[in-house]
Chains A and B, each alone.
Chain A
Amino acid sequence: MGGPSRGGNAVLVAGTYLTVLAVLVLPVLLVMVEALRAGLGAAWRSLLDPDALSAIRLTLEVTLVAVIVNAFGGVMAAWLVTKYRFRGRAALVALIELPISVSPVIAGLVWLLLFGRQGWWGDWLDRHHIQIAFATPGILLATLFVTFPYVARTLMPLMEQQGREAEEAAFLLGAGFWRTLWRVTLPDARWALLSGILLTTARAIGEFGAVSVVSGHIPGLTETMPLHIETLYNGYQTVAAFAMAALLALIAMATVLLRSFLEHDFRKASS
């Protein structure tokens, strides 16, 4: 039969397009329209505003560090839970995936409980004039927490599927751990790694709730791109807000498209 009848298919396709258009495409379209309401020039100029530029710079810095740390940690953890069998392995996997189900606001709050003025180490930090909460380190920590699982999560199923014969062969041929990881395991898992890194990047750039709690919202200093959007939007600078939103939406679109191509590739490669 291979599929539904012609009429059924038409209804199905129409329903799908309608849902996708109304729920997913319309919002993106609106972002673009609102951003260009005063013309491309105005949108572009709003992005060159010093506060906007500083927000972009801060976002990129935080994202870069978060991606490096979580990609490295994710690779290590994926190697650990897929290449060895040990008691507590399931608990470890659950712990890795935990941040996905934690509210972003909580992801910010927990750092205040440690480093905030009323936090455990707040006084000590104060005395030594170290600022973590309401400063860049706090924003970084919140971003690290929120983007924690994605590289590990995309890598784990693929590395599980790989088994460990290739690694054992490499080891028997005299390769050490780092060389085996770099030359044998990761080349085979590179699309999954790349896909995980893309998702981490997208989430890091766009994180709002967690960062909002620890940032302190000082324009030009501790505002990331999403926080700057909030400031602009609440200040009725709609075009500027949507110009920045459009930039982020384009990044998000590129991410999902690239990931879809990557997944298609490794689904094809594995079949």
Chain B
Amino acid sequence: MSVQIQSLTRHAPNASRKMLDDVSLTIEDGAFVALVGPSGAGKTTLLRTIAGLDGPYEGTVLVDGRTLAGRPMRERRIGFVFQNYALFRHMTVARNIAFGLDVLPRRERPDRRAIAGRVAELLELIQLPMLGDAYPDQLSGGQRQRVALARALATKPGLLLLDEPFGALDPIVRRQIRRWLRGLHDQLGLTTVLVTHDHDEALEVADRLVVMQNGRIVQDAPAEMLDTAPATPFVMEFLGEALAFQGRVVQGSFLPDDANVLRFPVAATDGPATAYLRPHEIRLVAEGSGQATVFGGWLGAMRRLEVALGKRTVEILVLPEQIHHAGIEGVSLDITRARLFRDGALLVWKGG
């Protein structure tokens, strides 16, 4: 199922603050989209609005080309998994999963045996075939998560909405479940929207990331594009540790303000700009008068270096052989791989 959102604006109850501010977004049939951003960015509000959960809003939200307003929930074919799972504690796992079928009007409701069959099928799918008679309180976090998913899938939704579904799980279970979820998405041909504040998780599981900040969409791009061409310094910083170098573009070259940082050629008009890059994208060069100190341990195969540039000190990550080649006395930084921003927008990036 597809989702089209146009100029969606929502106000916080009893306040003029906008929880969503002129949001437009298209999600194609079969896509796996992650909504990412810091807490308070409006991700969950957007997800709940797509589900038709919250009250009035301005703008249009179309699911498969139709508005949801006035249509009964069971015709909407939307599955929703809550952050706290919202399992019914007084029902067994099997009854939880069957709930969406049990509440169908008599005419449409499958018979007892068909419901039991569907439940068994779903228990198989979530790899918990023996736990149909258990109660939610007897399950582990990862198991509850999967039961919540099975409950959402029981009525065969076309659109699956997940609100921070891995939030309460430990790291190992998280990794397992998100791979499994991705497999499920492909296998069932779902359209999936996932809310998360963990960019690594989003990058791993989704085809496309929608980065939100203060109720607005900052960038909407495939996972690999986000790192190479972040739309704003915020996106750059949200996706991982980033270093900033102030400077100016003069006649096709970026001139950093810091001492001991090398200029590099750019295709941009003259004016002030800020260069951003990841600590591991910086290279150490054996010239100039920068002072580097090795400190801390290893980060993967890389070492952490503190480099005194004159007025300030930056932390970078380099491979040990670079330290070997360049030494640590009298060094400069090569920041050729930086993305250049001016007035909060991307100016030049390494791919283009």
Please tell me whether chains A and B touch each other in their complex, using a CB distance cut-off of 8 A: yes
Say if the beta carbon of B13 comes within 8 Å of chain A: yes
Docked CA distance A2–B48 (Å)? 12
Residues of A within 8 A of B53 (CB): 1
| Chain B residues whose C-beta falls within 8 Å of the C-beta of A1 in the assembled complex | 53-55
Inter-chain CA distance A23–B53, complex, in Å, is 36
Complex: how many Å from CA A9 to CA B54?
15
Q: Nearest CB to that of A1 among chain B residues?
A: B53
Number of interface residues of B (CB under 8 A): 4
Q: How far is the CA of A2 from the CA of B12 in the complex (A)?
A: 12
A2 vs B55: C-alpha distance in the bound complex, in angstroms? 9
Q: How far is the CA of A233 from the CA of B333 in the complex (A)?
A: 96
Q: Which residue of A lies closest to B13 (CB)?
A: A2
- Per-residue CB contact flags for chain B residues 1-44 toward chain A (1 = under 8 Å, else 0) read 00000000000010000000000000000000000000000000
**Residues of chain A at interface, number, CB under 8 A:** 2
Residue among B13, B54, B55 with the highest chain A CB neighbour number at 10 A: B55
Residues facing A in B142-184 (CB within 8 A) are none
**Contacts of B55 on A, CB cut-off 8 Å?**
1
Q: Closest CB-CB distance, A227 to chain B, in whole Å?
A: 49
Give residues 1-59 of A contacting B (CB, 8 Å). Answer: 1-2
Complex CA distance for A2 and B19, rounded to whole angstroms: 15
Q: How far is the CA of A51 from the CA of B55 in the complex (A)?
A: 63
Q: How far is the CB of B241 from chain A (nearest CB, A)?
A: 35
Among residues of B, the one whose C-beta sits closest to the C-beta of A5 is B55
B13 surroundings in chain A (CB, below 8 A): 2
Give the complex CA separation of A80 and B53 in angstroms: 50
Q: How far is the CA of A2 from the CA of B13 in the complex (A)?
A: 10
Chain B residues lying within 8 Å of A2, measured Cβ to Cβ, are 13, 54
Interface set, chain B 50-91, CB cutoff 8 A to A:
53-55
Q: Say how far A5's CB is from chain B's closest CB, in angstroms.
A: 8
B122 to A: closest C-beta gap in Å: 26
Point out the residues of chain A lying under 8 angstroms from B54, CB to CB.
1-2
* Bound: A1/B49 CA distance, A: 10
Looking at the assembled complex, report how far the CB atom of A132 sits from the nearest CB atom of chain B, in whole angstroms: 53
Residue of B nearest to A6 (CB): B55
What is the CB-to-nearest-CB distance from A26 to chain B, in angstroms, rounded to a whole number? 32
How far, in Å, is B55 (CB) from chain A's closest CB? 8
Cα distance, A1 to B55, chains bound together (Å):
7
A2 to B53 alpha-carbon distance, docked (Å): 10
| Closest Cβ neighbor of B55 among chain A residues | A1
B48 nearest in chain A by CB position: A1
How far apart sit A1 and B53, CA to CA, in the bound complex (Å)? 6
Q: How far is the CB of A7 from chain B (nearest CB, A)?
A: 13
Mask, A169-190, CB within 8 Å of B = 1, is 0000000000000000000000
- B 248-276 binary contact with A (CB < 8 Å = 1; else 0): 00000000000000000000000000000
Nearest CB in chain A: distance from B70 CB, A: 14
Within 8 A of B (CB), among A219-271: none
B103 to chain A, nearest CB (A): 18
| Cα of A2 to Cα of B44 in the assembled complex, Å | 14
Chain A nearest Cβ from B48, distance in angstroms? 8
State how many angstroms separate the Cβ of A30 from the closest Cβ of chain B.
Answer: 37
Determine the distance from Cα of A138 to Cα of B305 in the docked complex, in whole angstroms. Answer: 84
Docked Cα-Cα span, A172 to B53, in Å, equals: 55
Mark interface residues in B106-145 (1 if CB within 8 Å of A CB, else 0).
0000000000000000000000000000000000000000
**Distance to closest chain A CB from B88 (angstroms):** 17
A2–B54 CA distance with the chains assembled, in angstroms: 8
- In the complex, what distance in Å separates the CA atom of A1 from the CA atom of B80? 14
Which residue of chain A has its CB nearest to the CB of B54? Answer: A1
**Shortest distance in angstroms between A6's beta carbon and chain B's nearest beta carbon?**
9
A1 to B54, CA, bound (A): 5
- Docked Cα-Cα span, A1 to B51, in Å, equals 11
B53 nearest in chain A by CB position: A1
How many Å lie between the Cα of A114 and that of B53 in the bound state?
Answer: 66
Binary contact track B165-206/A, C-beta < 8 Å → 1, others 0: 000000000000000000000000000000000000000000
CB distance from B61 to the nearest CB of A (A): 16
| Interchain CA distance A1-B13 in the complex, whole Å | 11
Report the minimum CB–CB distance from B54 to chain A (whole Å). Answer: 7
Rounded to whole angstroms, the CA-CA distance of A81 and B233 in the bound complex is 58
How far, in Å, is A51 (CB) from chain B's closest CB?
A: 56
Per the bound structure, the CA–CA distance linking A2 and B14 in Å amounts to 13
Report B335 CB to chain A, min CB distance, Å.
48
5 example contacts (A-B, Cβ-Cβ < 8 A) are as follows A1-B53, A1-B54, A1-B55, A2-B13, A2-B54
On A, residues with C-beta under 8 Å from B are 1-2
- Which 5 A-B pairs rank lowest in CB-CB distance, beginning with the nearest? A1-B53, A1-B54, A2-B13, A2-B54, A1-B55
